[in-house]
Structure formats: C-alpha cells, structure tokens
Amino acid sequence: MAYIFPVNGVLPTMGADCFIAPNATIVGDVEMGEQCSVWFNAVVRGDVNSIRMGKKVNVQDGAVIHCTYKKTKTVIGDNVSIGHNAIVHGCTIEANVLVGMGAIVMDNVHIGSNSIIAAGAVVLENTVVEPGCIYAGVPAKKVKDINEELINGEINRIAQNYIMYSSWFKNI
C-alpha cells in the first residue's frame, strides 16, 4: 500500500482515475488532478510547502517532488512527465512539459509550456525556460526550439503512454 500521510492535519488529495504505486510516498499539502500517476519509489513531499499538480501528470520511478520551507512551492501544469529519478524542487512547470530522466530542476525555476528538459540536465535556481524549447546540460542552457513533431512525438506521447501504463495496474 502506498504511503499517503497527512502533515499538520493536511492530507494529500487526488483526482479521479489516478494510479499510485504501492511503494510511492505522498505526504502533506499535495493536490493532484485527474489521471495522474506516481510510480514505484517516487516521493511527493508537501510537508514544508504546497505541491499542486494538474491533470495527466506522471511522476516516474524514483523521482522526487519537494519544495522549500516558507519559501517556494511547486506547481506543475497539465500533461507533464517527470522522468525516472528526476528532482523537481520549488518551481513552476507549465503544461505540456517533459522533464527527462535524472534531471534536476531547482527552486524558483519557471519552465514554459511545450518544453523539454533533457535527461541529466541541471536547471539552476531562478532560471526561466521560455516556452517551446529544449534545455540540456550542466548547467542547463537552451539548445534549440521545439517543433510540432517533438511536442506530439515526445511530450504528448509519453504523457499519454503513462495513462495507458497505469491502467495495467489498477485492478491488482
């Protein structure tokens, strides 16, 4: 059974048709929209500030979403994929974004819609990622603009696949 706990009397809430893996951890002031999924060994910690997730957000295996006490909350828009072992901390991610495997997104980062943060990228504190581009590297920098093929072929495809994958586990 997943670890879902209140912190200071605030219990996480989830929209309809969400999948939470049996060993995922979700605590505190966390709100998720419909069709979200939190996968194996992922942690969503709303203990020190709030975490708001839109619809169709997937938090893949080993990823961590957190924030900073009395400083930064985390806001994630619709149709966002947080890759395996990524860290998303005290930032804003608009709709239709892919955060690649092992990427780190620090406090006060703002990622515009239709963007990709490449696997292993480190997006430093206070960075603004403009909509429709790819950021990669350490520290992460813009490497190119995104075309419609990448938006549909990567961002939308991955988010939609995770809705399908979660359906495989709902009757277990």
Tens of pLDDT along 32-77?
A: 999 999 999 999 999 999 999 999 999 999 999 999 999 999 999 9
**In what helix (H) or strand (E) does residue 160 lie, and over which residues does it extend?**
helix 157-167
- Tell me, what's the pLDDT at 151? 87
Low-confidence ranges of the chain (pLDDT < 50): none
Q: Which fold has domain 3-167?
A: UDP N-Acetylglucosamine Acyltransferase; domain 1 (2.160.10)
What pLDDT sits at residue 100?
98
Residue 45's pLDDT is 98
Instruction: Give one DSSP letter per residue of 93-159, joined into a string.
Output: E-SSEEE-TT-EE-TT-EE-SSEEEPTT-EE-TT-EE-SSEEEETTTTEEEEEPPHHHIIIIIIHHH
DSSP single-letter state for residue 166: H
